[in-house]
A and B are shown apart, each in its own frame.
Chain A
Amino acid sequence: EAGVTQFPSHSVIEKGQTVTLRCDPISGHDNLYWYRRVMGKEIKFLLHFVKESKQDESGMPNNRFLAERTGGTYSTLKVQPAELEDSGVYFCASSNTGDSPLHFGNGTRLTVT
């Protein structure tokens, strides 16, 4: 089966610009998660979808971040406007049920200059 796919693998943007990250979960996985690792820090939870519904978005850092999962398939994470501290690696993961192991994508490395 195809794994979790993330696009792009790398993105370099200037401060103030907008960037949209995309995640395609494993087919049939209702649970989709976003995590991120900013430079020098640990990986942190951002939010969790079940199908198209946000179950927990307590990790979203501020209102410059918007995650969507229209139709319950792929998800996008938009950062607008991007700030320097948003640089890091953004991981997407999916799972079949709520407590089954996560399958992670390779991540999107975002650099804000």
Chain B
Amino acid sequence: AQSVTQLDSHVSVSEGTPVLLRCNYSSSYSPSLFWYVQHPNKGLQLLLKYTSAATLVKGINGFEAEFKKSETSFHLTKPSAHMSDAAEYFCVVSVNTGFQKLVFGTGTRLLVSP
């Protein structure tokens, strides 16, 4: 069965410093992986999606993620954090059934200090 593990429940960074949110996946075949973000009192927004076309995936708001099969990882990074990046981030894998049956990680709350 497909699953994802987010290694940190909270990550704190200072504005202007790099962001690293870690995610490991488990899948019996080449997975579809996503990162979603939820800002307070808002819906989930898709940041980026990996579907085997390229291992480095660029998303919105300067975020990117690299698919590493050897490490079964899909970590999310951003070179320089902004205050508006403070939110909860979810690593997600799609069960390959032809529609979006998503399996979510437990989430990582990103805190950005001035």
Contacts and interface: CB of A to CB of B under 8 A. Distances in A.
A35 interface: yes
B102 A98 contact: no
A98 B103 contact: no
Interface residues of B, number: 20
Interface in B91-114: 97-107
A101 B43 contact: no
A42 B43 contact: no
B21 to A, nearest CB: 15
Contacts of B97: 56
A98 B106 CA distance: 24
A4 B46 contact: no
A99 interface: yes
A102 B103 contact: no
Nearest to B99: A98
Query: Which 3 A-B pairs have CB atoms at the shortest separation, nearest pair first?
Result: A104-B43, A98-B99, A104-B44
Interface of A: 3-4, 31, 33, 35, 41-45, 48, 50, 55-56, 91, 93, 95, 98-107
